[in-house]
Each structure stands twice: as structure tokens, then as C-alpha cells.
Amino acid sequence: MRRILRRNPIPQHIWHSVTRHAVVLHELDAVQMAHLRELATWFLHSKQINGVQGLDVTLPMRVTVAAQACLLILNLDVDHFDNWVEVILYPGAFRVHHEQVDAVGVVHSEASVLSGESWLRGPVILSWDDVERDTHDCQTGRNVVLHEFAHKLDGLNGAVNGMPPLRSGMSRKRWAEDLGAAYAVLCRQVAAGDPACIDPYAATSPAEFFAVVSEYFFAAPAILKKCYPDVHRQLELLYHQPVSR
């Protein structure tokens, strides 16, 4: 790590410019910011960030992605981002096609327009328009970088299912109970057409619930703590990072 930091420093002016505009980083103290810079330097050395559809990816853009992605592992190990090497940036929202098999075995092709996607053992794919917007404004709790990289943490156990590897001393039973109860409440609200206090997309699956509450934990923690205090506490334990904002 020291050799990487020495040979691949992020220029000071770029680091300060990027982090000054990244709202989700504003609550970090000087020690945390210094460590985040080290992690972001490692990230840029270890991962490729490539543009498609003619998008020219500049160093500030790469640092913007790296700094916010590494916020998730600020108090974890870099091996939480093992087993994949690439981030793909589209200029804006992108269209994907997935095949679904229905109950009688018929295959249906479905098209979706996404702002981000994370493959279990493949790349993280992001819309730069959405990254840029969420970097400057996280009042709604939305942050596509945090969301997609939370899926990467979730998948470390071999499946993206809302059960990431927990820190030593954490209870899998308590985690499942606390997040499961909150997820059930949200699903009932969404099914009834009632307003939800977090993005209703979280009701899609336990995996999406974990990714969305991870967004809120860093980007709008007061909302998460008010709505789901038990979930907020579990994420404090997981990320080992109380967030007061």
C-alpha cells in the first residue's frame, strides 16, 4: 500500500476540488479524510474506470467515483472490493436487457433503463449524469455510487441477498431480524400505496433494501435513523462509522 501511495498520489488540488463538492463526505474529519484519500489512491491503482459511448473519463471523474465508493470501506479492509477490476461509466442512464423465465418456463426479454448496475463477479456500471448529480446533492438520500458498491459488499458471501459479511461480534440473527422487520414494514406500505419514508425501490428485494439503506446511512442518516432506528444501528456496527448528520 505504501508503495502505491508513493508512486500514484492523487494531486492535492484535484482531491480538494472533488471532495469539497462531494456532499456525502462533508462530515468526515481530517483523519478520516486522509485515510479515505489513501483508499481512493489504492482504488484508482487497482481498478479500471472506463468510459463508453464516447465518454472521456478525466482524473477528477475517477476520483469522484473512487472517493465515494471507498467511503463504504473506510473502516473495513480493501479486500471487501476484491474479485473484480472494472467500473464502466456511461454518459447517462443506460438500457439493459435481461431474460426472465416465467412460472411455465417461457423466457421473456425485458428492457430497463438504469442509472447503475453491479454484477456479482463483474464490473460496476454507472451513469455519470447520476453520479455527478448525487455527488452535489444528497438531500434525498440518493447516491448511485454508494448503492452499487453496497451490492459489491453484499455479494461477498457469494450471493446478493441483503446479508453481507458481518463484522466480528455482530449477530446474524439480530441483523436478519432488524432488517427483515423493517423490510416487511416497507413492503406493506408500498403494497398499500402508502407513502414510504425511504425510496420505495428498497421494497424490490432484500438486496435492494440493503443497498438503499446504505445510501441513506451515509447520505441522509437522520431520515434512516428516524424511520428505522434498528437498521441504522446495524449499519453503524457494520460500517463501524456513526454518522451524525
pLDDT above 90: residue 12: yes
**pTM summary value:** 0.90
Q: pLDDT class for 109, splitting at 50, 70, 90?
A: low
Q: Does domain 1-239 have CATH number 1.10.472.150?
A: yes
Query: Of 171, 243, 170, 158, whose CA–CA distance to 207 is shortest?
Result: 158
Contact 145, 89 (CB under 8 A): no
Cα(126)–Cα(176) distance, rounded to whole angstroms?
29
| 169-212 tens-digit pLDDT | 999 999 999 999 999 999 999 999 999 999 999 999 999 999 99
Q: Which long-range contacts (CB under 8 A, 24 or more apart) does 189-196 make?
A: none
Give the integer Cα–Cα distance in Å for 13 and 114: 32
Query: What distance in Å separates the CA atoms of residue 207 and residue 179, rounded to the nearest whole number?
Result: 11
Alpha carbon separation from 117 to 39, 87, 121, 144 (Å, rounded): 22, 10, 12, 9
Q: What are phi and psi of 10, to 5 degrees?
A: -80, 125
